């Protein structure tokens, strides 16, 4: 069974309605030439998603812990920059579980994406009797030209057919899974991640931690890159190597742990809102959601239990 979703958006955060289970923060950064079109086919093992941007925007999204995401761009005007990569038409990116996606997308960006459950990739590999190496958690990389890359681009190219319901999205998703198995099998034998010394990783992490400690609030990727004097890709590599998670998640979880410490303090006389604002967390609803995901209870429950 599949569910089709169709969204006409004049604001960037409206895309979330077409993508189930996505934690999306996005804003429009310029004039609207017309409504952007987001379309998806949602299945048990994943989602096929297409987007055509009719206004410029910036966004940030976290890939869930059980998903791999692969994206192929059919149109990438100058200035298209995702996760530290300057993109061109035909480029394909692979996101591991737990990856934080950031993007600058000018008007005219078009892409097709597949969000696939990790277990179904493993099952497809078993069916094909192929050994694969899953990407490191929190990592994002541009796929190099090769048979796997071509297969993925070809499979996602067929995603346009879900608009007219002339193709079976389950078959399309299977094609994507088989293409991913091919790519990950190649990576198992030949991929070598970017090298970075332990000393360099520690320097990057220390400088970012000192900056966040002094400035407070929620740091941006651009600010952290500026402080550490590194590209976004090197920043991500350093934090994934040191902590197993990307930088934004690392600092977000730090703030959540500090919030819990303050909520549990017996001398605390602050409300949940006062504590979250004091930590530079502006969105109370998102704070409560992420707190629940990390600790299994709402911040208000923690506060009530402590007092």
Give the max Cα distance, the chain: 63
Residues 230 and 207 in one domain: yes
Distance of CA 298 to the CA centre of its chain: 24
**85-101 pLDDT per residue, tens:** 899 988 999 999 988 89
Do 54 and 185 fall within a single domain? Answer: yes
Same-domain status, 184 and 215: no
Q: Is the pLDDT of residue 228 over 60?
A: yes
Identify the domain boundary among 147, 172, 190. Answer: 190
Residue 190: what pLDDT? 45
Whichever domain contains 140, its CATH number is 2.60.120.10
pTM of the model: 0.69
Partners of 52 in beta bridges: 37, 110
Please tell me the predicted confidence (pLDDT) of residue 70: 92
Task: Write down the mean pLDDT value for the chain.
Answer: 82
Q: How many CA atoms lie within 13 A of 288 on its CB side?
A: 10
- Domain of residue 261 covers 198-306
Please name every residue paired with 86 in a beta bridge, in sequence order, or none if there are none: 81
Is 43 in the same domain as 90? yes
Domain count, the chain: 2
Together in a domain, 179 and 202:
no
At 161, the pLDDT band (50, 70, 90 cuts) reads: low
DSSP the chain: --EEEEEEESSGGGGGGGSTT-EEEEEE-S--SS-EEEEEEE-SSEEEEEEE-SS-EEEEEE--TTEEEEEEEEE--TT-EETTEE--TT-EEEE-TTPEEEEEE-TT-EEEEEEEEHHHHHHHHHHTT----PPPTT-EEEPPSSHHHHHHHHHHHGGGGGGTT-S-HHHHHHHHHHHHHHHHHHHHHH--PPP--HHHHHHHHHHHHHHHHHH-S---HHHHHHHHT--HHHHHHHHHHHHSS-HHHHHHHHHHHHHHHHHH-TT----HHHHHHHTT---HHHHHHHHHHHHSS-HHHHHHHH-
Residues 237, 97 share a domain: no
pLDDT of residue 166: 43
CA R_g for the chain = 20
- Provide the residue count of the chain: 307
Q: What is the pLDDT of residue 81?
A: 93
Both 186 and 214 in a single domain? no
Answer with the one of 190, 225, 242 that is the final residue of a domain: 190
Q: Is residue 22 located within the same domain as residue 40?
A: yes
Distance CA 202, CA 228 (A): 11
Q: Are residues 265 and 234 in the same domain?
A: yes
Cα atoms in the 13 Å half-sphere on the side-chain side of 170: 5
Following CA atoms 230, 99, 88, 156 in sequence, which dihedral angle do they give, to the nearest 10 degrees?
170
- Of 219, 259, 268, 258, give the one whose Cα is nearest residue 239: 219
214: CATH: 1.10.10.60
Whether residues 218 and 183 share a domain: the answer is: no
Single out the residue in 154, 171, 190 at which a domain terminates: 190
Looking at the fold, whether 43 and 123 belong to one and the same domain comes out as yes
Residue 294 has pLDDT above 90, yes or no: no
- Could you report the per-residue pLDDT of 246-287, keeping only the tens digit for each? 788 888 888 888 888 888 886 667 788 888 887 777 677 778
Do 145 and 77 reside in the same domain of the chain?
yes
């Amino acid at each position: 069974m599949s569910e089709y979703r169709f969204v006409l958006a004049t604001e960037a955060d409206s895309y979330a309605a077409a993508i189930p289970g996505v934690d999306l923060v996005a804003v429009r950064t310029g004039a609207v030439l017309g409504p952007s079109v987001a379309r998806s086919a949602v299945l048990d093992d994943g989602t096929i998603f297409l987007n055509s941007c009719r206004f410029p925007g910036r966004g940030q999204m976290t890939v869930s812990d059980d998903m791999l995401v692969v994206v192929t761009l059919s149109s990438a005007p100058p200035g298209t920059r995702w996760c530290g990569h300057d993109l061109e038409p035909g480029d394909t990116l692979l996101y591991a579980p737990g990856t934080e996606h950031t993007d600058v997308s000018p008007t005219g960006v078009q892409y097709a994406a597949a969000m696939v459950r990790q277990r179904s990739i493993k099952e497809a590999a078993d069916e094909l009797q192929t050994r694969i190496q899953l990407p490191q958690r929190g990592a994002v990389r541009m796929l190099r030209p090769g048979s796997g890359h071509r297969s993925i681009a070809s499979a996602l190219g067929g995603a346009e057919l879900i608009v007219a319901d002339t193709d079976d999205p389950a078959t399309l998703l299977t094609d994507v899974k088989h293409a991913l198995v091919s790519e990950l099998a190649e990576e198992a034998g030949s991929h070598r991640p970017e090298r970075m010394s332990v000393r360099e990783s520690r320097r990057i992490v220390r400088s970012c931690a000192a900056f966040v400690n002094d400035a407070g609030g929620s740091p941006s990727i651009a600010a952290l890159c500026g402080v550490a004097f590194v590209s976004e890709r090197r920043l991500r590599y350093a934090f994934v190597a040191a902590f197993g998670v990307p930088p934004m998640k690392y600092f977000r979880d730090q703030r959540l742990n500090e919030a819990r410490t303050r909520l549990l303090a017996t001398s605390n006389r602050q409300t949940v809102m006062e504590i979250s604002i004091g930590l530079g967390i502006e969105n109370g609803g998102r704070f409560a959601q992420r707190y629940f995901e990390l600790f299994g209870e709402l911040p208000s429950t923690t506060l009530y239990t402590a007092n």
